[in-house]
Amino acid sequence: MTVLVFNDDPYARSTTANVVRCADNALVFDRTVFYPLGGGQAGDTGVVERANGERIAVLDTRRDRETGEVLHLVEAVPGDVAVGEPVVLHLDWERRYTLMRFHTALHLMSSVVGAPISGCNIAPDKARIDFDIDMSLLDAGTIEREVNQRIDLGVATEVRWITDEELDAQPELVKTMSVQPPRGTGRVRVVEIPGVDLQPCGGTHVRNIGEIGPIRVVRIRSEGKKNKRVEIVFADCTV
Ligand SMILES: [Zn+2]
């Protein structure tokens, strides 16, 4: 299994690694700092640096559904890349840090709205949650103010692992209807923002919610019976 460096250190921007497998347009390594698309969070981009100095752009990162491998998608794998070859992986850190700030902001928004989540998406320019809630209960100004008040608390986030049994004993932790927390390994990753939010999550988050900075609710609209979508950007975003 690939060592997922971001699980324990989401601030790691690069790592040494060895090539485990190469396909036409994907590279697999024994360890990685690249987060694969999942839980609504976009896959990472960046660069693979070879010992000969060649730099291969990583366009996206996905998880192979069958093998669980982390696939680093590239335009074309150079013909001379060999299994076992040592490389250095470099994240597009600015992009990833933005995703971490948005992702953590969505945890705060879920605690503010307090309704079941029917979907979410975290992109570099905006993020959104779909709630299963009556439209009349969603007010942009209230959500924005209450999320920003929580951000101002400047609380440190905590990551820990609990057993499947502990999770089963607290079903109220699972707020996302469409994405069940990953099971099968006997333990589940839980992200806690003390006094604010606690839920299973495999994504990457900032160390302290103060790093998010103020957000703005730009749109609330209905995307279906169970999907009332709230979209946010950072307050300093001019678009
Ligand atoms: Zn999360």
- Per-residue pLDDT band for 155 (boundaries 50, 70, 90) equals very high
The structure tokens listed for 160 are: 């820990």
Beta-carbon neighbours within 5 Å of ion ligand 1: 201, 203
The structure tokens listed for 234 are: 């950072």
Task: Give residue 46 CA to ligand 1 midpoint distance, Å.
Answer: 22
With 0.85 as the threshold, say if the pTM is over it. yes
Residues of the chain above pLDDT 90, percent: 78
pLDDT in tens, 83-113: 999 999 999 999 999 999 999 999 999 999 9
Task: Give residue 36 CA to ligand 1 midpoint distance, Å.
Answer: 14
| pLDDT (0 to 100) of residue 182 | 60
Task: Give residue 105 CA to ligand 1 midpoint distance, Å.
Answer: 9
Task: Give residue 102 CA to ligand 1 midpoint distance, Å.
Answer: 10
Q: Which domains are seen in the chain, by residue range?
A: 3-91 (2.40.30.130), 96-234 (3.30.980.10)
204 neighbors 105 (Cβ within 8 angstroms): no
| pLDDT (0 to 100) of residue 185 | 72
